[in-house]
Structure 1
Amino acid sequence: MKRKKLGEAKGYLYIFPWIIGFLMFQLIPLVNSFRYSLTDIKLGGEYQFIGIENYIRMFTEDVDLFNSMWVTIKYIIMVVPAKLIFALIVAMILSMKIKGIRIFRTMYYLPSILGGSVAISALWRVMFMKSGIINNLIGTDINWLGDPKYALFTIGLIDIWQFGSSMVLFFAALKQVPRDLYEAAQIDGAGKVKVFFKVTLPLISPVMLFNIVMQTINALQNYTSAYVVTGGGPLKSTNIMALKIYEDAFVKSDLGYASAESWLLFIFLLCLSGFIFFTSKYWVFYSDGGGK
């Protein structure tokens, strides 16, 4: 009995740093943000309780809010599928037995480490300028950063380029697919395309679900590329929600309203994640018989 209690005490001791970090950097800020959303607090000033006025203001006065939400939705629809498709294709290529393949695996993962930095975003801005290297390479004069038709796509490419984490998970999932299933499918006369859709995709669908949820969360949290590359322009065509929340909080010094916006984004994320999990029962296959 004493040994069991000692083991439990050691377990709590090991997770104590995580508990402190969770309380200080996640739970307490979350509770405070909700408390601030019910006030008119300004940056560095006093605050007054105003109830749900910030939430009413969001839906009755703030025209830019609906634009930012729509831009965010378009960003998710554009980035998440493209990122996962690209990651899966590369993972399938890297799962082949090719000489020096480990070097390529490392190279393809590097963008996920570097891509979210301010330096990369600044470099991206220079590359996609009207006189930048991209236009010089393809021989055009497209205004990637100044035309609303291309601006969101341009910053989305940075996120798509950071496909390394999804690629690693797909690569691990592909390695777990039993070889005998491929052999059985080939004996039955199934082609490569049919094998992919009938064998490979169903067996890696749990990893696909995880990647969809995580990359959707990452896309909703994106701020750096929109701020550094386009600054939310042109004509607010790249003014995604994370950037709008930052501007309302630290440029307009309206922390209470920004906190209310962050809770709106949080609720939107919960609903979107819930929808993804609800639909997963129709397309996710589990080896224990669950799912589809």
Structure 2
Amino acid sequence: MNINLRQLRLLEATSRLGRLTDAADEQAISQSAASQSIRELERTLGYRLFLRIGRHLEPSEAGRQIMPRVREILALVDGLESPQQEVIGGDFHVAASVTVGCYLLPHLMAEFCRRHPRVVPRISIGNSGEILAMLEKGRAQLGIIEGPATHAELEIGLWRKDRLSVFCAADHPLAPHRQLDLEGLGAQRWIVREPGSGTRQVFDSAMQATAIAPVIALALPRQEAIKQSVLAGLGIGCLSALAIADEVATGQLVELDTPLQLVRNLSWIAARDRRTAGIVDTFLELLREQSAP
């Protein structure tokens, strides 16, 4: 079987990026050469590697099955360039859900780069569902998400706990009492994250446990939009305590005691074949060091 590394790198890049044009640019070859290379690889293997969905290429079932082995081969070959295991460097792409990406990951990445100056960091931010999809398609080396998650093809591990906070504006009628009882949960207008986010999953689960259907006034994908809507008097909000710490400290927002169970897990995600990469395991060691809330 005549397969070369250039073909495998193009195959991996196309699977990760979803567009042959982008993969060709990354591998510094023309689109026509990239297209010919994929066709030759498919002829050699005897099956299709990609399906065209609109403007994007999605791996076929066979393509998905062989991708872990392709990445393992490339990781082993790349390891020949740095035989010293203690040398950690190269591109490192971490995808994180919003709270982690805004309030925790920048400091973690800065510490990681201080320890390993050869690392070239990249950060992507999305909701938990989007992060899982990125890891599934190999478009990031590590993910950190909020809320529960399971996936047959990805390794998911607990990192630390995070507390969600229910809050209102300082001039809201609830602010002087700082309390919201069980009966009051259903009487409020709620401003929360969009469906698919880890924060929303935890909020919905906590409300379901009380058998109360909340009145969702606004579902927004940005934490700043939720905070500003609460400050404007449109309702009360629910976000990570990390996200509102500054506004609580200045007195703009007030945290409310409620009967809701709003403690959640923050978890890391890695493709099973990527865990052998030294840079991923080294970053996970840093996560374990800084696991306390």
TM range (shorter): under 0.3
Return the TM-score normalized by structure 2.
0.21
Considering Cα pairs closer than 8 Å and 6+ residues apart, tell me whether 1 or 2 has the greater RCO: 1
Higher helix share: 1
TM-score (norm 1): 0.21
Structure having the higher strand fraction is 2
